[in-house]
């Protein structure tokens, strides 16, 4: 299977596909962080982009989290002393490296300035302006374009992967739109969380795995290992995907060719790059704090298992991850319900890959079912399960091409539209702040339900009714809030004004969509690809 982008028509098609989704994601971006995790990475990213230490960094004294003296006062901060001013951070190195170019661009070109940031004239909430919305224009630029860029790349790779299974261009495009706009992939395309580049690394790695299957070239398997290794350097729960994948390719390799030489070659081709990535985490840890065994760069499995002690039964957490009103993967992306039919049809032609995809899902679900914050706090849906979304969508292509009945298409359309509207509700406002309220507060929002009648608080300040009832779920509460007190949280709407924003959106997207449809007719499927 050759790279289809070698063909000029196919390259044009992919560029249009990228442009369409990049525009959609940028226009629905809020241009600001919503979690502490994002800021930790961004702080390290700026130091890398500018090659300058933080102004408050003190050589030989500053410890991890020194950037937040109000949260971690120096006199009470017992974390390791940093040995490197640039890398003094808990942030994963590849996460920051992928962000650094965006910060570098705005830092040197000044595309977004302080005068264009959110102010108290936009929102009458001081905390929202000073924390939720970055006061650094470089961070704003990064937040605006970072996730849309990687998410749009992911849609293109997802399309290429779908084509490797012999799906038509039409079917592959349907899958792309469902994947990108009817699942929580869209919701997180406005964040700078590390799961965004992680999904790209997973998909591009899986694409080269598909090439390896078609060509038996171990070079492609090496590339798979490299991109999976980059994923590990971005987010260490990537290990939960690497392990079953590693076992899978060894078993299938032995099944197809029982020669020891081939088996060893397959083992080394895939295993070496992730092992190198693991070694890099140790090197970074040593440069960072002079200790290769420090927690920020250690594997996470043992950590999650230890802290996973909770009063909730294990299988209750599993059910909650998948189907709870407050966090369930299938509730926030109902199109995923089709996977139960999709896997059945997909298995007939792709037995091994079907088993692999199911193993990805099972491993991720069981892994996060072990920890006490399986619901992801105020994350939209089951955010920890985002990496398995592509593999729950891909099998649907087999059903679309096999089941041509109109009555089969109706549920797909309905589920796709519902998923689109659910995630649009989240994108139009900052649900994590205005709907949830301030963590630890009993004044407003869903967090206000966290205090018990006796004055104590629920675990993680989350009342079980938020997770297990539709009435107090994020979906219902966000929808009610949007209609009761809408506070549009779209950065370009602020910059352009709502009228020009709508005009641009209505003008650009239909044009790109028309170009995509027209270009798809010229998409050439090479025989080696099928």
What pLDDT was estimated at residue 309? Answer: 44
pLDDT at res. 300: 47
* Chain CA centroid to CA 340, Å: 23
DSSP H helices in 182-238: 184-187, 195-215, 218-234
Given the structure tokens 């969380």, which residue do they identify? 193
Least trusted range by pLDDT, from 279-293, 322-336, 381-395:
279-293
Residue with tokens 């790695």: 205
DSSP type of residue 82: P
Please state, in angstroms and rounded to a whole number, the distance separating the CA atoms of residues 393 and 79: 42
Token pair belonging to 498: 């709502």
Q: Exposed/middle/buried for 215, CB within 10 Å: 0-12, 13-18, 19+?
A: middle
Neighbours of 403 (CB within 10 A): 13
Rounded Cα distance between 42 and 142, Å, is 9
- Report for 108-112, 133-137, 255-259, 377-381: range of highest mean pLDDT: 108-112
How much of the chain exceeds pLDDT 90, in percent? 69
Residue 337 CA to residue 356 CA, distance in Å, equals: 19
The Cα–Cα gap between 394 and 430 comes to 30
Query: Which tens digits make up the pLDDT trace of 77-103?
Result: 999 999 999 999 989 999 999 999 999
Position 293 scores a pLDDT of 67
Give the span between the Cα atoms of 51 and 327, in whole angstroms.
40
Mean pLDDT, residues 434-460: 86
Could you please report the per-residue DSSP string of 220-231? Answer: HHHHHHHHHHHH
Residue that wins the pLDDT comparison between 38 and 257:
38
| DSSP, residue by residue, 411-461 | HHHHHHHHHHHHHHHHHTTTIIIIIT-STT-SSSSGGGGGB-TTS-B-GGG
pLDDT at 411 over 50: yes
- Output the pLDDT for position 414: 97
Each residue of 340-372: pLDDT tens digit? 999 999 999 999 999 999 999 999 999 999 887
Which DSSP category does 292 fall into? T
Q: Mean pLDDT over residues 200-226, rounded?
A: 95
pLDDT tens-place string over residues 464-506: 999 999 999 999 999 999 999 888 899 999 899 999 999 999 9
Q: Of 498, 356, 381, 496, which is closest to residue 431 (Cα–Cα)?
A: 381
Across all residues in the chain, what is the average pLDDT? 89
Arithmetic mean of pLDDT, 312-337: 94
Cβ-in-10-Å burial (0-12, 13-18, 19+) of 332 comes to buried
Q: Which of 144, 136, 132, 142 is nearest to 113 (CA)?
A: 136
Contact, 17 vs 159, CB < 8 A?
yes
pLDDT tens per residue across span 149-166: 999 999 999 999 999 999
Separation between Cα atoms, residue 458 and residue 326, nearest integer Å: 16
Q: Are 38 and 134 in contact (CB under 8 A)?
A: no
What are the tens digits of pLDDT across the range 274-311? 999 999 999 999 999 988 765 544 444 444 444 444 56
Give the model confidence (pLDDT) of 97-147 as tens digits: 999 999 999 999 999 988 777 777 777 676 676 666 667 899 999 999 999
What is the C-alpha to C-alpha distance for residues 388 and 184, in angstroms, rounded to an integer?
11
For residue 1, name the pLDDT band (cuts at 50, 70, 90). very low
SS3 of residue 257 by DSSP: coil
pLDDT of residue 404: 86
Helix (H, G, I), strand (E, B) or coil at 81: strand
* pLDDT > 60? residue 24: yes
Q: Which helix (H) or strand (E) segment is 513 a member of?
A: helix 498-520
Residue 313: which pLDDT band, with cuts at 50, 70 and 90?
A: confident
Under the banding of pLDDT at 50, 70 and 90, the label for residue 528 is very low
Q: Taking the alpha carbons of 53, 55, 60, 65 in that order, is the dihedral positive or negative?
A: negative
Contact (Cβ atoms closer than 8 angstroms) between residue 85 and residue 54: yes
Q: What is the CA radius of gyration of the chain?
A: 23
Interatomic CA distance for residues 347 and 341, integer angstroms: 10
Would you place residue 391 in the very low, low, confident or very high pLDDT band (cuts 50, 70, 90)?
A: very high
Residues 6+ apart with CB under 8 A from 314: 369, 370
**151 Cβ neighbours under 8 A, 6+ residues apart:** 21, 25, 180, 185, 188, 189, 196, 199, 200
Residue 410 has pLDDT above 90, yes or no: yes
Residues listed for the chain: 530
The residues, ordered by sequence, that sit 6+ positions from 383 with a Cβ below 8 Å of its Cβ are 184, 188, 193, 195, 376
Nearest C-alpha neighbor of 205 from the set 166, 236, 169, 160: 160
Query: Are 313 and 363 spatial neighbours (Cβ–Cβ below 8 Å)?
Result: no
Tens digit of pLDDT for each residue in 39-79?
999 999 999 999 999 999 999 999 999 999 988 999 899 99
DSSP 35: S
Residues 351, 345: Cα–Cα separation, whole Å: 10
CA 311 to chain centre: 29
Cα dist from 13 to 24, 160, 188, 398, whole Å: 17, 11, 25, 23
């Amino acid at each position: 299977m050759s790279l289809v982008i070698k063909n000029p028509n196919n390259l044009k098609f992919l560029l249009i596909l990228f442009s369409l989704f990049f525009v959609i994601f940028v226009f629905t971006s809020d241009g600001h962080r919503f979690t502490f995790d994002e800021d930790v990475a961004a702080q390290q990213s700026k130091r890398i982009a500018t090659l300058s230490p933080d102004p408050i960094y003190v050589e030989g004294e500053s410890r991890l989290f020194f950037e937040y003296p109000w949260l971690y006062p120096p006199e009470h901060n017992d974390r390791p002393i940093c040995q490197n001013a640039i890398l003094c951070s808990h942030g994963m190195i590849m996460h920051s490296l992928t962000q650094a170019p965006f910060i570098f661009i705005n830092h040197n070109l000044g595309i977004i300035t302080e005068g264009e940031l959110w102010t108290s004239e936009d929102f009458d909430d001081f905390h929202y302006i000073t924390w939720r919305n970055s006061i650094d224009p470089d961070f704003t630029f990064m937040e605006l374009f970072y996730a849309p860029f990687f998410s749009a790349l992911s849609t293109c790779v997802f399309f290429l992967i779908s084509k490797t299974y012999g799906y038509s261009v039409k079917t592959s495009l349907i899958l792309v739109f469902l994947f990108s706009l009817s699942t929580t992939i869209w919701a997180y395309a406005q964040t700078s969380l590390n799961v965004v580049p992680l999904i790209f690394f997973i998909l591009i790695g899986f694409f080269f795995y598909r090439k390896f299957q078609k060509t038996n070239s171990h070079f492609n398997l090496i590339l798979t290992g490299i991109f999976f290794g980059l994923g590990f350097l971005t987010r260490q729960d990537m290990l939960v995907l690497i392990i079953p994948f590693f076992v899978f390719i060894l078993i299938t390799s032995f099944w197809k060719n029982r020669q020891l030489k081939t088996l060893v070659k397959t083992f080394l081709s895939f295993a070496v790059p992730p092992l190198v990535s693991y070694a890099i985490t140790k090197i970074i840890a040593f440069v960072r704090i002079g200790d290769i065994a420090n927690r920020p760069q250690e594997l996470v499995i043992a950590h999650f298992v230890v802290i996973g002690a909770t009063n909730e039964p294990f299988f209750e957490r599993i059910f909650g991850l998948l189907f709870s009103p407050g966090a369930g993967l299938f509730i926030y992306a109902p199109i995923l319900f089709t996977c139960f039919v999709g896997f059945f049809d997909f298995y007939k032609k792709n037995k091994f890959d079907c088993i692999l995809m199911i193993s990805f899902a099972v491993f991720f679900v069981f892994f996060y079912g072990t920890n006490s914050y399986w619901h992801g706090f105020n994350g939209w849906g089951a955010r920890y399960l985002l990496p398995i979304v592509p593999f729950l969508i891909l099998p649907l292509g087999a059903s679309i091409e096999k089941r041509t009945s109109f009555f089969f298409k109706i549920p797909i359309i309905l589920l796709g539209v519902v998923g689109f509207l659910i995630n649009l509700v989240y994108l139009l406002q900052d649900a994590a702040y205005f709907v949830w309220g301030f963590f630890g507060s009993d004044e407003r929002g869903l967090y206000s339900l966290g205090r018990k009648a006796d004055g104590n608080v629920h675990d993680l300040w989350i009342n079980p009714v938020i997770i297990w009832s539709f009435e107090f779920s994020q979906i219902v509460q966000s929808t009610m809030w949007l209609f009761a007190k809408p506070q549009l949280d779209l950065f370009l709407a602020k910059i352009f004004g709502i009228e020009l924003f709508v005009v641009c959106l209505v003008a650009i997207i239909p044009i790109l969509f028309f170009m995509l449809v027209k270009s798809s007719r010229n998409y050439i499927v090479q025989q080696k690809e099928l």
